[in-house]
Amino acid sequence: MVVSCDKILRYSQGIDYKSFMGDELRVDATLRNLQIIGEAVKQVPKEMRTKYPRVEWRKIAGLRDILAHAYFSLEDETIWDIIQTKIMPLKSEVETIISQEFK
């Protein structure tokens, strides 16, 4: 998850919404990594998800399902908002979990 978060942050660094959405490769790479994050979340044991409720586990898994099955129902603005407001906090939370659980 951390690697995918890093990639998404790198793909969106230094550009605005319009430039990002106009770059098919960046968008496709970002969507793929959002899917990877969603798949990874589904592999996190329930006990760990319960222990760390600050991570929006269900929403992340739900996003993966939307990306895999109903991509065209997802607005570009929503994707950009996720990139801008959710990825960095998710990365930080996952890094904290890793440091606490896998010392």
Which one is catalytic: 26, 49, 58, 64? Answer: 64
8 Å CB contact between 69 and 35 = no
Looking at residue 71, its pLDDT comes to: 66
- Its pTM stands at 0.92
DSSP string, 16-28: -HHHHHT-HHHHH
The first and second tokens of residue 31, run together, are 């969507």
Interval 32-87: pLDDT, tens: 999 999 999 999 999 999 999 999 999 999 999 898 887 677 899 999 999 999 99
Catalytic (active site) residue 26: no
Rounded-to-integer distance, Cα 19 and Cα 8, Å = 15
Which one is catalytic: 10, 26, 32, 69? Answer: 69
Looking at residue 86, its pLDDT comes to: 97
Catalytic (active site) residue 69: yes
Count of domains forming the chain: 1
Look at residue 13 and tell me whether its pLDDT is greater than 90: yes
Interval 74-99: pLDDT, tens: 899 999 999 999 999 999 999 999 99
**63 is in which domain, residue-wise?**
2-101
Residues 6+ apart with CB under 8 A from 8: 30, 33, 34, 83, 87
8 Å CB contact between 94 and 2 = yes
Looking at residue 69, its pLDDT comes to: 86
Rounded-to-integer distance, Cα 6 and Cα 24, Å = 19
